Structure 1
Amino acid sequence: MSAPDTSIASENSREVAADVLVVGSGSAAAAAALRVAVGGLSVVMLEKTDRLGGTSAMSGAGIWVPANHLARAAGLEDSPEEALEYLRSASPEGWRASEDPLWASFVEAAPRMLAFLETHTPLRFALTREPDPMAERPGGKEVGRMVSPHPLSRRLLGPLARHLRRSTLQHLFTYQETIGVDPYHSPVKAALKLAPRLLHRIATDSRAQGNALMTGLLRGCIDAGCRIELEARVTDLLTDEHDGGVTGVVVERAGSTRKITAHRGVVLAAGGFDWNTALRERYFPGPLDRLGGPRANEGDAHLMAEKAGASLERMDQANVFPCLPTRYEGRPHGLPMTFQAEPHAIMVDRTGNRFVSECDYNIGEAIDRRDPTTGESLHLPAFVVADSRFLSQSPTFRWYAHYEPDWIVKAPSIDELARRLELPADALAATIARFNSFCARGRDLEFKRGESLWETKKFGGPAAQLKPIERPPFLAMSFNRSLIGTKGGVRTNPKGQALRPNGTVIPGLYAAGLTMANPIGTRALGAGTTLGPNLTWGFICAESLILDSRCAPSPTITC
């Protein structure tokens, strides 16, 4: 089915009103637009670039949805109550006081969201075999909460297909296939094993992961009657002079500026602020390796919301994840990839000491740990330190490392490596000796590397992970913060409504995805606790808008 041309606004479009305006085009934005449209309201999606899908289109599309219908069909027991218990037990200390109402809203809506997407889009999801990263905590599950989409042909988007944002990841493989055949370590073997289906995907322009997710969501939006405008940059929010409520937006497009009225409300779902240098350096001071999201994530929506009176919170939270160097759209970029959890390698901080299990899913949280008084980083700069066998373990790593020729530092001895890294030589030597003794013992007595359910299932347990560092030349590479997306933003209530600093609602303003103050921050409680909540909060915002009685006179709405 081809997309109707009306889904792309003409250059001279002077449309001045809609029931709901959605700023952004990623998973949260599309989920909101789709739910609103299916609910009978008119909706316009405004994307500031000429590429649709945002960070979600670039993602691996692992999606954390507790108590979902796929798990139930597979005979796996779960419930919103158990998911809420897990969120409470696994989240950072102190978060429950402010986030518990939002967690409760999320676990109730998430299963309905997933079923809704399978009903109203071409998307079909499948379970992955992954456990919760902290499955041992109360409410945790060994399997059943992680899903990812089957491949879809990008041709489903018709004229919009060429505008779907491409990824630095290889979306020919499904999320499940990347786990099963491991193209990171064995790219040729993986490609040969799946050759027939990969060739079919190439022939049909079918892709998996984030491109499949956004193809399906956008197709659903088009079928439901959503209007999509590209290169439509929202520069300001229109507000009511009496109650301060948001009544529309100001849009720059094709060299002209116009106002669009929102009869019901505006949903801000325009990504994070990782590419806004001033904001990023304010909230993430210290060494930065790479950024893995679209360069359009500049915090526009955050700044507009703040100007309209919204409270910005959790601004120091982000998806902090290892990234390899690559190029994207002709410029240096980050490729999300867990490359530090390899045998014959450890991570050390600026003191030359280990500070976390190298296989910990929340290694980003450890990297980002800060002094509670000064806010300064406790560990950065940090490094992966390994012996010569590290480079032989993945041709993929070697390929991407060539994009930064000076990234890998080599030395004939540990002392010389320490000197080149400006680390205390005695401390680094002692750390490596201690780690090697753990390898001989078969157990990491410091950080229990490989022992958790997550680390056992994902990385093979201690037997596979505890391999000594002893063969020269020795090598190291920086392992500082890399950001896939920031997760702080507009403080909302359980309905997705934006709040002022005094806790009152800003009528007509909603936020979702990486634009909201996400109730699941830097500490990821599942491999998909960015996308799962993003989709769900877009869905929640839409359901709130459908029920919202606040509306201005409109030919399409009965007030």
Structure 2
Amino acid sequence: MSVQQQENGGFDDAADVVIIGSGSAAATAALTAAKKGASVLILEKSDKLGGTSAMSGAGTWVPANHHMLAAGLQDSPAETLTYLRATAPEGWAETEDELWQAFAENAPRMLEFVEANTPLEFALTHEADPMAEYPGGKTGGRTLSPKPLSRRILGKYAPKLRRSTLPHIFTYQELSHDIQRRFVSTVVKMAPTLIWRWLTDTRGQGNALMAGLLKGCLDTGCRIETKTRAVKLLTDEDDGGVIGVLVEQLGRQRRIRARRGVLLGTGGFEWNPEMFAKHFPGPLDFIGSPRTNEGDGQLMAQAIGAKLDHMDQANISYLVPTRYEGRLHGIPLEFHTVPNAILVNRLGQRFTSEYRFNMGEMLNQRDEHGQPVHLPVWLITDADFFRNSGLLRWFARFDKRWVTKARTLEDLADRIRLPAAHLVQTVARFNELAGKGVDEDFHRGETPLEKERAAVSGLMAPITKPPFVAIPFNRSILGTKGGARTNAAGQVLRPDGSIIAGLYCAGIAMASPIGTRAVGSGTTIGPNMTWGYICANAMLQANRGG
């Protein structure tokens, strides 16, 4: 046994807290634990840091945050909890209410802590809650995104920060509003700023978020090891609690002791074909996350008796084809909210308002056997769709099979295997409603958020100009949201409800208390960071040492 192994009780290495993963949940947990005096080791299996969060737009939903309160916008944890309860899927309160309470209380504290201990500064986006009409909903202030930061603040780790398919040279606010509405004029106006950002390696969105969080981790003494894959959780023979982790690094295995606990922040399982097919049957269009999201945390937790839950939940978005790391990938782009486009199900019929915020929930709707109700889903439009969007024409070139065209609706239906009579009837009915200017069938444009979308692009326009166009609009995944079931302190539970001592889980590796039904823009990142913060605090309060 080496001297190091003797010092670490027979292990090859040791730390108070071992964090598996390097995304927003993992990094927030690491920062919190290190700032409060713990030694922290961050393990990342790839050669890139930041995970899905680094690739994201970094919309961050934090209710009752200090920025909105400073702007004179009223909110409180009590109102947050009211909103979460009012908008939750049926039956979720039975298992999630304690977790909602923990989130509502800790989210604003987390944001203040992060800003006080990293270079990060957040700015409001003024986006409304998508269900602002429900009790506790707000018309603005709960969603934020970080201001730009130079990736160079990470020093030798700067090249390791994961790049994105999104243009992170823009902030979330710029990309969500000015760029999409007035692209050319905005880019020209911003030219000096964009040049400065390019020269200084300054970026917004997910790269700013993770540059700031990781810088905070480094400044507080966290160790970071890349190309280190956790393969097994090590447990105590007496109580089954987690005491460390077995990793593979540079072709050899190492045992790492975790004196205070292990946190799983490993991301989703969308790139594990077997797991994904089991929990998400039916067609899949694109995935927009790193290919390292293979369910490592879920599988390691399950192997030591953890309960997995919400495995049918995900951040389901609308992605278009692009290339990433040399392979076909998805990039988020809202391309379906235009007046002359409808969504039809496998029967060739409309089934929802195309302008609804929680479209992913509709696409993920299941029958009593767990099978998709609507898939395959198609966007149906006409020649004006591409004529008015050079951006979509650009992305379509990455996947020649993505778009189907035909001179008639009957021919189009035949090519995509839909009932022709149904599709023709559906388009005729939509055209009739477009003439009236009112969607009598699915009430498109009637909620506050849908009214905003209609104000930007228009409400309804007839689909009449050949060639007619069909684009698949099935589930596209930015990250699954199922995993280890936890309590309100982030401790991982067994099926009988007992706690697995020393094991915590945060982010999209956990059974998310906010699943596919998003309650605001950024209800992945905001909760991820909050649960990292909750887990670290709980870990340090637990009396498990050694």
Q: TM-score, normalised by structure 2?
A: 0.97
Cα distance in 2 for residues equivalent to 1:472 and 1:193: 37
Query: Aligned ranges for residues 181-196 of structure 1 at < 5 Å?
Result: 181-183=178-180, 186-196=182-192
Q: 1:222 aligns with which of 211, 218, 239?
A: 218
Structure 2 residue aligned with 1:454: 449
Q: Distance in 2 between matches of 1:326 and 1:386?
A: 22
| Structure 2 counterpart of 1:520 | 514
Structure 1 residues 91-136: Cα deviation after superposition (integer angstroms, max 9, x where no partner): 1111011000000000000000000111000000000021001111
Among 100, 105, 113, which residue is 1:103 paired with?
Answer: 100
Match for residue 472 of structure 1? 466
Q: Name the amino acid aligned to 1:548.
A: A
Between the aligned partners of 2:225 and 2:163, the Cα distance in structure 1 is 18
1:514: how far off? 0.8
- Does residue 127 (structure 1) correspond to residue 124 (structure 2)? The answer is yes
Choose the corresponding residue for 1:347, options 343, 350, 355: 343
Aligned twin of 1:420: 415
Which of 326, 343, 353 is residue 330 of structure 1 equivalent to?
Answer: 326
**1:280 matched residue in structure 2:** 276
Residue 393 of structure 1: aligned partner: 388
Is the 8 Å Cα contact of residues 348 and 426 (structure 2) preserved in structure 1?
yes
Cα deviation code 1:302-346 (max 9, x no counterpart): 111011111000000001111100110001101111111112111
How far apart in 2 are the matches of 1:155 and 1:188? 29
Shift of the alpha carbon at 1:459?
4.1
Rounded to whole Å, the distance in 1 between the matches of 2:186 and 2:369 is 47
Alpha-carbon offset, residue 195 of structure 1 = 1.1
- 1:35-89 per-residue CA deviation (whole Å, 9 max, x = no partner) reads 0000100000000000000000000000000000000000000011111111011
Given the alignment of the two structures, is residue 495 of structure 1 paired with residue 502 of structure 2, yes or no?
Answer: no
Are 2:424 and 1:429 aligned?
yes
- Aligned partners of 1:186 and 1:394 also within 8 Å: no
CA distance in 2, matches of 1:532, 1:296: 22
Distance 2:278 2:130 in 1: 30
Answer yes or no: is the 8 Å Cα contact 2:437–2:459 preserved in 1. Answer: no
Residue in 2 aligned with 1:485? Answer: 479
| Paired position in structure 2 for 1:547 | 541
Choose from 236, 240, 247 the match for 2:236.
240
Name the amino acid aligned to 1:296. Answer: T
Partner-residue secondary structure (3-state), 1:181: helix
Indicate the SS of the match to 2:15: strand
Aligned to 2:5: none
Q: Does 1:206 align with 2:202?
A: yes
Match of 2:529 among 514, 530, 535: 535
Give the C-alpha shift of residue 148 in structure 1.
0.2
In 2, Cα distance between the equivalents of 1:186 and 1:382?
Answer: 30
* Distance in 2 separating the partners of 1:356 and 1:15: 56
Cα distance change on mapping 1:455 and 1:332 into 2, 3 Å:
same
1:167 matched to 2:161? no
Match of 1:46 in 2: 43
Partner Cα separation in structure 1 for residue 289 and residue 481 of structure 2: 12
Distance in 2 separating the partners of 1:361 and 1:173:
23
- Match of 1:75, SS state, is coil
**Alpha carbons 1:126, 1:147 under 8 Å: kept:** yes
Residue of structure 1 in register with 2:374 after alignment: 379
Deviation digits for residues 152-174 of structure 1 (CA, Å, limit 9, x no counterpart):
00000000000000000011111
Mapped partners of 2:545, 2:269: distance in 1: 31
1:490 counterpart letter in structure 2? A
Contact 2:314 2:482 in 1 (8 A): yes
Q: CA–CA distance in 2 between the matches of 1:449 and 1:182?
A: 25
Cα deviation code 1:338-372 (max 9, x no counterpart): 1111121111011111111111111111011110x
Query: C-alpha distance in 2, partners of 1:73/1:376?
Result: 47
Letter in 2 for 1:386: T
2:458 partner SS: helix
Report how far residue 180 of structure 1 moved.
2.5
Work out whether residues 120 and 212 of structure 2, in 8 Å CA contact, stay in contact via their aligned partners in 1.
Answer: yes
CA distance in 2, matches of 1:388, 1:188: 23
Contact kept in structure 2, 1:130 and 1:457, CA below 8 Å: no
For residues 282 and 549 of structure 1, do their structure 2 counterparts lie closer, same or farther at Cα, with a shift above 3 Å needed?
same
In the TM superposition, residue 15 of structure 1 has moved relative to its aligned partner by: 5.5
Letter of the 1:155 counterpart: R
Residue segments in structure 2 that go unaligned for 5+ positions in a row:
1-10
In 2: Cα distance, 1:529 partner to 1:348 partner: 27
Give me the whole-angstrom Cα distance separating, in 1, the residues matched to 2:177 and 2:364.
Answer: 30
**Mapped contact 2:63–2:142 kept (Cα < 8 A):** yes
- Residue type of the partner of 1:240? D
In the aligned structure 1, how far is the partner of 2:94 from the partner of 2:31?
A: 32
In the other structure, the counterpart of 1:508 is 502
Please point out which of 166, 172, 176 is paired with 2:173: 176
Secondary structure at 1:460 match in 2: helix
Counterpart code for 1:498: V
Q: Distance in 2 between matches of 1:477 and 1:323?
A: 11
Structure 1 residue 278: Cα displacement: 0.4
Across the aligned residues of Structure 1 and Structure 2, the Cα RMSD in angstroms comes to 1.1
Looking at structure 2, the residues matched to 394 and 97 of structure 1 have their Cα atoms a distance apart, in angstroms, of: 46
Shift of 1:186: 4.9
Task: Give the structure 2 partner of residue 89 of structure 1.
Answer: 86
TM-score, normalization by structure 1: 0.94
| Residue 187 of structure 1: how far off its partner (Å) | 3.7
Which letter maps to 2:357? Answer: Y
The answer to whether the Cα contact below 8 Å between 1:37 and 1:226 also exists between their aligned partners in 2 is yes
Aligned residue type for 1:24 = G
Shift of 1:188: 3.0
Maintained 8 Å contact 2:490/2:538: yes
Distance 1:73 1:186 in 2: 30
Q: Which amino acid aligns with 2:228?
A: A
Q: Offset at 1:449?
A: 1.3
Q: Give the superposition deviation at 1:393.
A: 2.4
